[in-house]
Structure 1
Amino acid sequence: MSKLIHIGFGNIVNADKIISIVSPEAAPIKRMVQKAREEGTSVDATQGRKTKAVIVMENGMLVLSALLPETISMRLSSESESSLDET
């Protein structure tokens, strides 16, 4: 069963398909986001707020979130711990 993680404003992604969660501040990440927007391979889940995290998915899609990378990471790790408790 896929693990889903809440990334803000009612948006959810498949945690099993996440490669990395990075800050959008670095120039290479900004270029990567701009290219993904131009190619239509980005999903803006910020609801008009400032992008604070870029989630890179296995299929090359970028998901933009208004949550900090640390917040998403904590949600991922707490999700992992709770699934371990269930076994």
Structure 2
Amino acid sequence: MNDKPTNIGFGNIVPGERIISIVHADSAPTKRIVQESKERKMCIDATNGRKTRSIILMDSNHVVLSAIHLRRSAIVLAMNKENI
């Protein structure tokens, strides 16, 4: 598949075809997922020191922390899917 990279803010990109889900960062289950991924060393912090607003779950079991709001992340991902 020839999928465009998806911008997740501050010059950070992830392959859009590898994204399973984008979820809000403030729920308790999501915080647990982040903590577990940090313990497994599978967490990628792409916030550049800012507040984590969305969590991107990848098919490789990596968890990517993003400072971009969930709604904006979803819009960027949808735009990339349409332009293929």
Structure 2, gaps ≥5 residues long: none
- What's 2:63 paired with? 62
What is the DSSP-based 3-state SS (H/G/I as helix, E as strand, rest coil) of the residue aligned with 2:68? coil
Say whether 1:36 aligns with 2:37: yes
Task: Give the secondary structure class of the aligned counterpart of 2:83.
Answer: helix
Matched residue SS, 1:7: strand
Q: How does 1:1-87 map to 2 (within 5 A)?
A: 1-83=2-84
Kindly indicate whether structure 1 or structure 2 has the higher relative contact order, using CA contacts under 8 Å at least 6 residues apart: 2
Among the aligned pairs, what percent are the same residue? 42
Structure 1 residue ranges (4+ consecutive) displaced by more than 4 angstroms after TM superposition:
none
The two structures have a TM-score, normalised by structure 2, of: 0.93
Greater helix fraction, Structure 1 or Structure 2: 1
5+ residue gaps, structure 1, are none
Computed over aligned residues only, the root mean square deviation of the Cα atoms, in angstroms, reads 0.9
Q: Give the number of equivalent residue pairs.
A: 83
